[in-house]
Amino acid sequence: MSELSVSDHLEGILSDFEGSDLSPREAFSCSRMEEQSLSRPELEVAESKRCADVSQEPIGYVGIDTVLDQMRRKAMKNGFEFNIMVVGQSGLGKSTLVNTLFKSKVIRKSPGTAIPKTTELNSVSQVVEERGMEMRLTVIDTPGFGDQINNQNCWDPIIKYIHEQYEKYLREEILINRKRRIPDSRIHSCIYFIPPTGHWLRPLDLEFMKRLGRIVNVVPVIAKADTLTLEEREEFKQRIRKDLQTNGISVYPQPELDEDPVEALLNDKIREKIPFAVVGTDEEHQVNGRKVLGRKTKWGIIEVENTAHCEFANLRDLLIRSNLQDLKDITHNIHYETYRVSRLNEKFQSSQTKELGVL
């Protein structure tokens, strides 16, 4: 203990016993007895806390809080990529929902387009700008998925595509002279459209989500939820959640990836609503003197962004307003990292086998 800290320590002891009947010597003796009753680790923790208290009080303004403004300026300057995949049978409103999400004609489909005999993948990219922030959005549609009599292995082209994007990123990443910013075509979220049957998940639904949940962030939604009553919708959601749990299917956000209690609490609220019962439309209607996006039915107007009518707003908040960065982080740190480690291990084992063959 330094001369200054000894002095401070003595002053602290005397002040603690000030007003008591103890002499300074007796006070110091009592303090030593209290310290000896503590273990060495406890004393070290107490000392580190005292040091931390001092270090947390800088003299004057440092400017640490400006880092958020710096990050924001950089993000606005560079923009960012966001890649989503939509999967489901034809006629479930995948294109309409994407256009509703981004308030833009991202996907344009001609009426009467023939359904492919196998699962195809169509990619469309568009720059979406809002308040100076630029997002390079890519949407991958999967026409033909689940539309055949025999849908066995119809998910294979989708899995292959996702792995190809991981491989493309990996090849850029391991270059000696790599780019400052590697173009990111990895899928950050896969929205899976469940038909509004009101019964149970089909074997196709279960198998797809089980396989894809291991390699990408799967977000299940009940398509065209306005075809169900509120009671039917809630019962269907409960059955789906039970099916997912029974079959050990992991969908986003996964509880095991929650980093702290606050994040876990927020994600628990999301998990309570999954799968989101959604309605998509680009039609505007007047309701009580205001314009709303909605679908007109014989019972009235289904307001897309009204959470009392459907859960489109919850899906939008998850994908864009609250969890967009988390979707990108989990894609990079979990799904891509798993693929990267696997591929590098394969290459290492392959090189070892060749060396042994030479010997």
Q: What is the pLDDT of residues 59-108, one digit of tens each?
A: 889 999 899 999 888 888 889 999 999 999 999 999 999 999 998 888 87
Nearest to 211 by CA among 145, 309, 149, 286: 145
φ, ψ of residue 292 in degrees (nearest 5): -135, 150
pLDDT > 70 in the chain, percent: 82
Specify the DSSP class assigned to residue 256. G
Burial of 292 (0-12, 13-18, 19+ CB in 10 A): middle
Q: Which whole number is the average pLDDT over 187-210?
A: 96
> What DSSP element (H or E) covers 329?
helix 324-330
Alpha-carbon torsion angle 291, 292, 293, 299, nearest 10: -120
* Confidence category of residue 50, pLDDT binned at 50, 70, 90: low
pLDDT > 90 in the chain, percent: 61
Q: What is the tens place of the pLDDT at every residue in 103-136? A: 888 887 766 677 787 889 999 999 999 988 999 9
Task: Give dist(CA 85, CA 235) in Å, integer.
Answer: 27
Per-residue model confidence (pLDDT) at position 183? 95
Task: Give dist(CA 351, CA 330) in Å, integer.
Answer: 30
For the sheet with 290-297, list strands across it. 284-287, 290-297, 300-303
Coil, helix or strand at residue 287: strand
Burial of 224 (0-12, 13-18, 19+ CB in 10 A): buried
Instruction: Please check whether residue 190 is in contact with residue 217, taking contact to mean a CB–CB distance below 8 angstroms.
Output: yes
Per-residue model confidence (pLDDT) at position 288? 86
Per-residue model confidence (pLDDT) at position 53? 53
Cα 107 off chain centre by? 23
CATH T-level fold of 83-251+325-343: Rossmann fold (3.40.50)
State how far the alpha carbon of 226 is from the alpha carbons of 102, 233, 336, in Å: 21, 9, 36
Task: Give dist(CA 177, CA 182) in Å, integer.
Answer: 12
Amino acid at 202: R
Per-residue model confidence (pLDDT) at position 297? 85
Domains of the chain by residue range: 15-55, 83-251+325-343
Q: What is the tens place of the pLDDT at every residue in 246-299? A: 999 999 999 998 888 999 999 999 999 999 999 999 889 988 889 899 988 888
Task: Give dist(CA 233, CA 229) in Å, integer.
Answer: 6
Per-residue model confidence (pLDDT) at position 27? 47
Q: What is the tens place of the pLDDT at every residue in 136-152? A: 999 999 999 999 888 99
